[in-house]
Amino acid sequence: MTEHVYETEHFSQTWQRQLSGAFTKLDALCGYLGLTIDDLPSAHAANQNFALKVPLSFAASIEKGNPRDPLLRQVLPVADELGHFPGFNDDPVGDLAAVAEIGVLHKYQGRVLLINTGTCAINCRYCFRRNFPYAEIQLSKQKQQAALDYIAADSSISEVILSGGDPLLLNDVQLAELLKQLQQISHIKRIRIHSRLPIVLPARITDDLLAILGGSAKPVVMVVHCNHANEINRRVITAFSRLKRQGITTFNQAVLLKGVNDNADTLCELSERLFESCVIPYYLHLLDKVRGAGHFEVSTERALELNLAMQSRLPGYLVPKLVTERAGAASKQLVL
C-alpha cells in the first residue's frame, strides 16, 4: 500500500494531533475512501445516534472504493442501525449505571474494572457503549480517589483493569500518577490495560508511554482489541514489537461480527497475524445485544462452527476462547 504525502505527514504528528485529525464527518471519510453512500439520509440519522469517529491510521487500512470492506463496516454509520432487532436494547450488560457511581466495576473475584475516561479514539458501531452518555462516565478527581480507596480496602483484589472508554487516552502525567497510586496498594499483583489505541492510533505507543509502563513495579498486561487481520498495518506491528521489547505481555480480544470476521479463513488469519506481531489471541466475544448493532449478530450455532473450524486448523494457543457476557455471572461464559 503506497501512502500519499498527506498520510505520511499526518503519521509524523504527535498522537494527540493525529487524534484531533480523526475523521468525524461522513462526507470527509467517504471522500477519502472514494465511496458514495446509497441511503445518505439513513446514514446521517444513524450518525446522529452515535457519531462517526475514525483516526486516519485505521482509515488508511480500509480498501479504497470497497463498500464491503470489513474495517469500514466497523465504523461507518448505516441504515441497518435504525432497524428493530428483538432483544437488542440500550444497556445490554446492565452495569453502566453502577460504573458511573464509583468508577469501579467489581463483578469477578480478584479483578476489578477501573473506569477513568468515557471516550475512545474510534467509535465502533457494534459497541455496547454506543447508546450511553459517554461524558457522564468521566471521573472527577474525587470519584477517582473514592475508587482507589475502594480497591485499597479490599485485599481480595489482585488485578486492576483499566478500561473505559480507552484508558490510553489519559495523558502520560495522568497515567503515570494512576499507576503510581495503584502500585502503592500491596495486594495488587498486576495492572491490566484494555485499549484499542495500539490498533487504531499506534502513535500513542510513545517512548514516554513505554517508559511509564516498563517502569511499573507490578507487571503490566495489555489487552488490545482487533477484529480483523487488515487492522494490523506496519505502524501497528511496530507498536506491538515495542510493547514486547518493554516486557509487556499483550493479548487480543475480538468480537465476532457478521460481515467483518464471521468466516474461518478470516479468523484463522487474524490469529496468525496477531502471533506474528507478538500478540496472543485471548477472547472471541459474542456480540452484546445493543440497540443499533443487530445487523452484526452471528448466531451461536455459527459461532460454535467457526470455533471448531479454528480448533481444527490452528494450534490450541492460537484459538481464542469463545465467550459471552451474562448479567450476574461469576465470569465471562464459555460458549459451548
DSSP-assigned beta bridge partners for residue 163: 115
Nearest-angstrom CA–CA distance, 275 and 298: 25
Binding flag, residue 113, ligand PLP (CB under 6 A): yes
Q: Residues 162, 192: contact at Cβ < 8 Å?
A: yes
Residues that contact ligand SF4, how many (by CB under 6 A): 9
Among 111, 190, 244, 258, binds ligand PLP (CB under 6 A): 111
Judged by beta carbon, residue 52 or residue 314, the one nearer ligand SF4 is 52
CB 91, min distance to ligand PLP, A: 14
Interface stretch with ligand PLP, choices 103-111, 138-146, 198-206, 224-232 (CB under 6 A): 103-111
Residue 139 in the binding site for ligand PLP (CB under 6 A): no
With CB cut-offs between 5 and 8 Å by kind, which of ligand SF4, ligand PLP, none does residue 105 bind? ligand PLP
Smallest separation (angstroms) from ligand SF4 to the CB of 144: 19
Phi, psi of 32 (to 5 degrees): -60, -40
- Does residue 295 bind ligand SF4 (CB under 6 A)? no
Q: Give the orientation angle of helix 40-49 with respect to helix 26-33, to 10 degrees.
A: 120
Q: What CA–CA distance (Å, rounded) separates 62 from 288? A: 25
Looking at the Cβ atoms of 188 and 283, the one nearer to ligand SF4 is 283
- Distance, in Å, from the CA atom of 263 to the CA atom of 318, rounded to the nearest integer, reads 16
Task: List the single partner that 113 binds among ligand SF4, ligand PLP, none, CB under 5 to 8 Å by kind.
Answer: ligand PLP
CB 277 within 8 A of CB 79: no
Contact pattern from residue 108 through residue 147 relative to ligand SF4, giving x for each residue in contact according to CB under 6 A and a dash for the rest = ------------x-xxx--x-x------------------
Least Å distance, CB 320 to ligand PLP, is 12
Decide: is 107 part of the binding site for ligand PLP (CB under 6 A). yes
Instruction: Restricting to residues 203-232, name those near ligand SF4 by CB under 6 A.
Output: 225
Give first-to-last CA distance, the chain, whole Å.
40
In the bound state with ligand SF4, the residue whose beta carbon lies nearer, of 117 and 277, is 117
Residue closest to ligand PLP when measured from CB atoms: 107
The site partner of 81 among ligand PLP, ligand SF4, none (C-beta below 5 to 8 Å per kind) is none
- The whole-angstrom separation of Cα 261 and Cα 229 is 9
Burial-class residue 280 by CB neighbours within 10 Å (0-12, 13-18, 19+).
Answer: middle
Q: Which of the ranges 42-50, 102-110, 134-142, 236-244 carries the binding residues for ligand PLP, by CB under 6 A? A: 102-110
Of 7-15, 80-88, 105-113, 312-320, the window that binds ligand PLP (rule: CB under 6 A) is 105-113
Binding site for ligand PLP (CB under 6 A): 105, 107-108, 111, 113, 161, 331-332
Binding site for ligand SF4 (CB under 6 A): 120, 122-124, 127, 129, 166, 196, 225
